[in-house]
Amino acid sequence: MTDTTPPPLGREEFSQVVRLTPLVSIDLVVRDAARRLLLGLRENRPARGFWFVPGGRIAKNERLEAAFRRISRMELGRELSPDRARLLGVFEHLYDDNFAGAPGYGTHYIVLAYLVDDHGDFDLPLDQHSRYEWMSEDDVLHRPDVHPYVRAYCGR
């Protein structure tokens, strides 16, 4: 099968997309044997400065399985199979902010959240998140520095 994923958009093109349309993404809710969730401290907008689960946008013409594999490889440093994950649901994330910090528009995500019960070795990148922690669901639910959207993934 050939790769039909288009090249990344330039900053101005992507700004137009974010301003005018929702983005579709995958969140990876990784849980270890102690039922703790893997969270990273966000470096990028939106949600900068909050703990959040790894994830990423689905590209146009990218099949869900390919997106899941690519996002897990990029966000966790190890490619995971969607066969080892369970869809938690479809979520809507609305932010007043956008990736560029530009005034006048926010970001709208439609999120496919997948639970991944895996505590294997990950090679976690430090470009989107400055550090990572395994947090109990109680911490996720009560810490003010955990983004509220992550709380919806608890108890599922």
| Domain residue extents for the chain | 12-151
From the list 131, 150, 109, 119, the residue with the least C-alpha distance to 30 is 119
Q: What kind and span of H or E run contains 39?
A: strand 37-42
Cα–Cα distance for residue pair 63/119, rounded to 1 Å: 26
Rounded Cα distance between 15 and 143, Å, is: 32
Could you tell me if 48 and 135 are in contact, meaning their C-beta atoms sit under 8 angstroms apart? Answer: no
Q: Over range 117-138, report the average pLDDT.
A: 90
Q: Which residue's structure tokens are 């974010």? A: 18
Where does the pLDDT of residue 7 fall: very low under 50, low under 70, confident under 90, or very high at 90 and above?
low
Partners of 110 in beta bridges: 24, 92
CATH class for the region spanning 12-151:
alpha beta
pLDDT band at 17 (very low <50, low <70, confident <90, very high): very high
**pTM of the shown model:** 0.91
Q: Which residues pair with 154 in a beta bridge?
A: none
